[in-house]
Chain A
Amino acid sequence: MEETGIGIWGVPLAIFAGAIRVSTPFIFVSLGETITERSGRINLGLEGTLVFGAMTAYAMAVMTGSPTLGVLVAMMAGAIFGLIHGWVCKFPKVNDIAIGIAMMQFGLGMAFFLGKSFIQPVAPKLPSIALGSWSTMPQVQAALNINVLFFIGAALALFLFWAFKNTRIGLILRVVGDSTDAARAMGIDPDRVRLLATAAGGSLAAIGGAYLSLYYPGSWNEGISSGQGLMAVALVIFARWNPIGCFLAALLFGGAGALGPALQSVGVTQGYYLFYAAPYVLTLIILIATSSPTRSLAGAPGALSLTK
């Protein structure tokens, strides 16, 4: 790779740019999963939702020429996936973790099935904002060319952080997540709250998918997601169910993913593939360090089957 005029500074710049580019789907999926898990339910099916979202967004963008419409339709599709998950899981004896895996397989199958004919056509991309136009260096310009969805994700993280604490809906969500019985005593229907929370989670995960197919890497194919949807579940734990934590953790995961390619570009090729494992190892270490066999994870919703 050419490094004209930028030298070793190319590494942090590449990591920075990579973190922003790679983190956006993580932000949306993990924020969606946070909403769902805060209501006391876990949805492992977001991987399927993400890929299905990527497919619908791409297909809509190809057919209508509007990437924005693609994102909106993907959100609707994601909400439908969430509604299915939420509805099925409200029945007794139905394991939400297993249903998640089933939904993942179903979502992947549907996406590959319906998306077969959209592998060839080219869709218009989502717009990005060129914050680096002040610089004369193309690397800086490329690094600061940031997609609008990243900013929306950042704003959403701040909004959710505020909303969980300060709004009635946030309170209801937290009560349902902490104790089904307390929610019933307050006259809230926990199943309905969880249904809506899972639908909201699904529609956010689908935006993450739309970003993948409509911006980076910016095409639809069957290998578009490399487990971002599943990773989001670990990321939410890593972030302690805190939306701002999700945003920062997503950046960290994105940066760790960009570390390998960045180092390779300056000639460091040892252990290239191990860098991909870095976020997973980090999450596992934090899980081990903060878990205890006698109490649930700090900050975890009490009714979440994951932490019981």
Chain B
Amino acid sequence: MTIEANDPALSIVGKPASLRPVLEWTARRAEPIVIGLTAIIIGLAIFSLFILAVGKSPATLFQLMYTGGFASWFSVQNSLSRAAPLLLTALCVALPARLGLVIIGGEGAVVLGGVTAAAMAMPLAGTAPVFLTLVLMAMAAMVVGGIWIGLAGFLRHYRGVNETISSLLLSYIAIALMNQFVEGLLRDPASLNKPSTRPLPAEYMLGNIPGMDVHWGLVIGILACMVSWIVIEATSYGFAARIAGGNVRAAQIQGLPVGKLIAGFTALAGSFAGLAGMIEVAAVQGSANASLAAGYGYTGILVAFLARHNPLAIIPVAILLGGIDASGGLIQRRMGLPDATVLVLQGTLFIVILFCETFYGRFKIFNPDLWKRSL
């Protein structure tokens, strides 16, 4: 099959039968990419106007952002390290979103996961083997995180409680619980100014990927994204979840266990956020303390929405945002702009991208079913 560039067969009206499936496939997949990229460009343009308005050069800023985030091996590693927790907290939003739920309390699961992991490590570290300790820490964190977010899903289905609000409330309760544990029961007497749990011995830390200055959390996060993608795209549970997300009534009439699906998916989502907390303790902080509530849960919401709740798309988006985050310091030093510049950029992009949701399905060119009627 050879097609000339100026072949009239390329025009959609006079399509040869063999070409049509290719065009349809391209058109359907082009929609999120074209709309998404356009949204990012508009967002960057608005942000550039803001930077111009405060008397700085957007070109310099974007160049620094590239330098700080991706230009050298050092900066790439930095970006990847920052992306690791975002992968997991974004999954905490993306998985329930497939069922039509908006969960915004991932921060609570991160915090509780971290405290649980630290509490688990206390009796184990120093006595039990390293690998076993880390596995038990991760499992405990995942169970607690899963219960926490799963509770929001459970309440949604069986009590009709709005999951956005309940997860938000649970997140505040979790932060209060963490403060109570870290200041009280689990406090290391040696931590004076910054109350923390007892630090994990160095040999019990998660460590770096060989040959890189990036901890294993990145690999765990990417694996979690892949597993989630398989669950959604290739299992009957994922299929049922997508149906329930489209129309709950229809799913119930078909006899799908909607309640169990909701509880299961939110619990899985929460366990990923809990795991992010464990990684933060075992790979970065070395103990549980107030730094656990660093806002990963909230940035994860942004990542999930940017990725349109697709677990595989979360990987590049999280790395991109990790890079933007990593370049914040450089922008601050070189251009004299506040560190909140990154936050303004994220907020602008977030609004524009959500706004552009309205354009999905508006353009006939992306919908092969409408080609005949329009032409």
Contact = CB atoms under 8 A, between A and B. Distances in A.
Interface of A: 44, 48, 84, 88, 91-95, 97-99, 101-103, 105-113, 116, 227, 230-231, 233-234, 237, 271-274, 276-277, 280-281, 283-284, 287-288, 291-295, 306-307
Given A113-B340, A274-B176, A293-B158, A93 B347 contact: no
A98 B102 contact: yes
Nearest to A87: B355
A291 to B, nearest CB: 4
Nearest to B343: A109
B155 interface: yes
Interface in B148-164: 155, 157-162, 164
Contact of A105 (B162, B166, B173, B347): B347
A273 B183 contact: yes
Contacts of B166: 284, 287
Contacts of A295: 160
A108 B347 contact: yes
5 contacts: A88-B354, A105-B298, A106-B350, A233-B168, A295-B160
A247 B161 CA distance: 23
Nearest to B177: A277
Nearest to B259: A293
Contacts of A113: 337-338, 340-341, 343-344
Interface string B159-190: 11110111011101100110110011000000
B180 A94 contact: no
Contacts of B165: 233-234, 237, 287, 306
A109 B166 CA distance: 26
Contacts of B176: 273-274, 276-277, 280
Contacts of B104: 44, 97, 101
A112 B340 contact: yes
A108 B343 contact: yes
B169 A105 contact: no
A105 B302 contact: yes
Contacts of A107: 347
Given A105-B346, A107-B347, A271-B180, A230 B158 contact: no
B73 interface: no
A102 B306 CA distance: 11
Given A105-B343, A234-B168, A273-B183, 5 more contacts: A88-B355, A102-B347, A231-B172, A233-B165, A274-B176
B173 A103 contact: no
Nearest to B342: A109
B30 to A, nearest CB: 18
A84 B343 CA distance: 18
B233 interface: no
A84 to B, nearest CB: 8
A291 B160 contact: yes
B355 A91 contact: yes
Nearest to A260: B176
Given A288-B161, A291-B160, A293-B159, A94 B354 contact: yes
B102 A103 contact: no
B93 to A, nearest CB: 10
Contacts of A95: 102, 354, 357
B99 to A, nearest CB: 15
B66 interface: no
Contacts of B162: 287, 291, 306-307
B305 interface: yes
Nearest to B168: A230
Contact of B338 (A112, A234, A272, A292): A112
B204 to A, nearest CB: 27
Q: Which 8 A/B pairs are nearest by Cβ-Cβ distance?
A: A106-B347, A109-B343, A112-B340, A277-B176, A102-B350, A109-B344, A293-B160, A273-B179
A243 to B, nearest CB: 19
Contacts of A99: 351, 354-355
Nearest to A307: B162
B161 A101 contact: no
B348 interface: yes
Contacts of B161: 287-288, 291
A91 B358 contact: yes
Contacts of B183: 272-273
B252 to A, nearest CB: 11
A182 B354 CA distance: 28
B74 interface: no
Given A231-B172, A234-B165, A106 B177 contact: no
A294 to B, nearest CB: 7
Nearest to A287: B161
A73 to B, nearest CB: 18
Contacts of B177: 273-274, 277
Contacts of A44: 104, 164
Given A94-B357, A106-B344, A237-B165, A88 B351 contact: yes
Contacts of A272: 180, 183
A105 B355 contact: no
B314 interface: no
Given A91-B355, A97-B102, A284-B169, A306 B344 contact: no
Contacts of A237: 165
B103 to A, nearest CB: 11
Contacts of A101: 104, 298, 301-302, 350
Contacts of A111: 340
A213 B210 CA distance: 49
B327 to A, nearest CB: 15
Contacts of B298: 101, 105
Contacts of B343: 105, 108-109, 112-113
Given A234-B168, A272-B183, A280-B173, A106 B351 contact: yes
Most buried by B among A88, A280, A281: A280
Contact of A292 (B160, B170, B340, B347): B160
Most buried by B among A108, A273, A274, A288: A273
B131 interface: no
A98 B160 contact: no
